[in-house]
Structure formats: structure tokens, C-alpha cells
Amino acid sequence: MPSSSNSSNTTGYYIYRKKAGSPFTKVATIYGIYNKAYDDIYVDENTSYTYYVVAYFVDKSSSPSNYVTITAPNFPKAVTSFTATQNTKTEIELRWTYDITQNVDFVKLKRKVIGEDGVYVQIGSFGSDTHEWFDTDIIPGKKHEYKVEITSSYLTSNPRYNFIKVPYRDISENSPVYIKALKYTNPSLEKWPAGSPEFYIKVMNVDPKNGKAFIVQDQVIVDFPSFFGTWVKEYPFPGKKVINWAPGFWYDMLSFSVVEYDKSFGKITIGMGVGYHYKSDTTKVPKNNKLFNSSINYEYTIKDKGENCGVGYLNYFEEPDKWIEFPGYGVELLVGEKDWGED
């Protein structure tokens, strides 16, 4: 790398690879001038590969580096699939498959609990006739990363990874979500003599199959009792059940939109980002084992004017009882698995 290279003229690197008799193709994009290493885990044993590297900056590329040719050794092949499924609150099912034509001495299964373990710890070693294992030693709220490797003739295959962010809820059963209470801190939300504030709450979700937003609850109404006046800033609202949440996947998310409305004074159109998570490609290295966040733009109109308090989000894997914060007027919403007064 030239001594004049720095972050103002080098964004990262492109890695190119070819087999004998095939053209070069780009196999990786590396971000960061000082990230000068790449692990190619998608290779066949006893096969020669030629590589070169190109530095890039925005839409410009350098001349190619020197060429390096290397033959991959006869290591055992990595597993062809590796899945991690949360079955119950205390059980994660791990399954793997591999090329049965190769000799397999052991399948080694390792785990790292983020925030608890500094390294991967082996939790099982299995013969060629075993293709599943159930992890029951799990911690709610923690990300559990799993790694599986095949050993044969003292050689170890490339690893495959998967992960679970263990929820506090029991994913095998319906998990109710109640709106238990609402509070706000900004008195300008509803000034005297308008009376006590009234709120519309809309609850949305996203269908992971088609990426479209859908309504969970169209218009939950919570009115502060008028005789309390505007000086009351927190009040419980029993009986406001939102959903029996049974998503089937632990990274599901609900989006809550809160509007303080004024009856019979026109209408207001609300734009909200309906958030959702999706899981990364779990066959790659551990640093890619994570959730990605995104959102879908959604608009709705209510017949009354009002103040848009914003959007807040509830993740399935979070603790069920939680105050959801909204950006406007200091509004917070208490949700839980049990109704107000049932705790």
C-alpha cells in the first residue's frame, strides 16, 4: 500500500478470484483502509485459486496488485446447512447437514453468549449419525452465537454460524401485549381550557414474506379523565389489549404511533416509519451475525386535528413490561404481558 494512502483517498479494497480456466470475479468488498485481511471460506479442497486486490475510492479503482495462486488443502467440507430455532423459552434447536460422502470423525458445536463469554466454548461433540442438538442452558435477553465445524483426520473444516437473540417471552405460546398506562411531561400538549388530553394509538407490523406493513390495531383510544384536568400527567388504562403476540420468529417488532387529538376540528395526516428487523446471512463470519433494521413508510389520516407525538417500537425479544418512549411532548407508553392491576 503506498505511503500516501489515507482515508481521504482510499475507501477500501476489492478482492478478485479465479479458478483455472475461469475468468476473475469479485468475491468481496472490504471497507476501511486498514482492513487488510479477508478469509475466503467458500473454496473447494485440492483446488487452485488465483487472487489479486484493487484499492478503490468512491467510483475510482487502482491498478491491480500482484497475483497470488494457492491450492486449498484437502480439509473436510463445511456443513451445507446450519439452523438455530427457538422452540420454547428454555430451548434452542440446532440442526446441521453435510456432504455424507466425506469421512467425518466428529461434528463440533460451539457457543458464545455475548456479554457472558469472551470466546466460543465447545458445548458438544457428535458422531456422523447425529444431526441435531437442543441447547437448554440459555439466558433470556442475551445473543447466543453458535459455530459448527467438522473434523476428519485431525483437520477441521471451515466453520458455519448461526445465532438467536433469546426472548424473554415464551415463543411456543401466545404472548399478550397490553397498553397499561400513558404519561407525558410537556404541558403544551393540551393547554387550559381545552381539558384533559385524548390519544389515538395505532399499532402496525410488517409481513416478513412480502415486506408490506399491516394494521394490528387501527385506533386505540385512551382519554385522560376530564375531572383530573391537565395537571395529571400519568394515568393507567386497563382493558387495552393490543394483540396475542405469536410471531413465530423472535425478531418481530410492533410499531406504535401516538397522536393527541382534538375532536371535531378537522383532520390530520400522520406519516410513520413502520420498523422491522431481518436476520443476516448466517453462513458468513461472526461479525455479520446480527439483526438489520429497516422501516416502511406509511401514512394514515384521522378525522380530528391533533399533535403528532411520534412513533415508538417494541421488540419481541425485549422484556414484556417496558415504557416505550416517543420523541414528541415527553410521551411514554407502558406495555406489558398482563393488564393493569393483574401484576
Count: domains in the chain: 3
Whether 142 and 187 share a structural domain: no
The answer to pTM > 0.85 is no
Contact 82, 161 (CB under 8 A): yes
Residue 131 belongs to domain spanning:
81-165
* Final residue in a domain of this structure, among 165, 195, 222: 165
d(CA 200, CA 193): 20
Whether 207 and 253 share a structural domain: yes
pLDDT-derived band at 192, boundaries 50, 70, 90: low
d(CA 331, CA 184): 4
DSSP 3-state of 136: coil
Q: Kindly state whether residue 1 falls inside one of the protein's structural domains.
A: no
Q: Kindly state whether residue 65 falls inside one of the protein's structural domains.
A: yes
Query: Is the bond leading into 208 cis (omega within 30 degrees of zero)?
Result: no
* Final residue in a domain of this structure, among 165, 183, 200: 165
Q: Kindly state whether residue 262 falls inside one of the protein's structural domains.
A: yes
What confidence score (pLDDT) does residue 336 get?
Answer: 95
Which is more confident, 7 or 43?
43
Contact 138, 167 (CB under 8 A): no
What confidence score (pLDDT) does residue 193 get?
Answer: 57
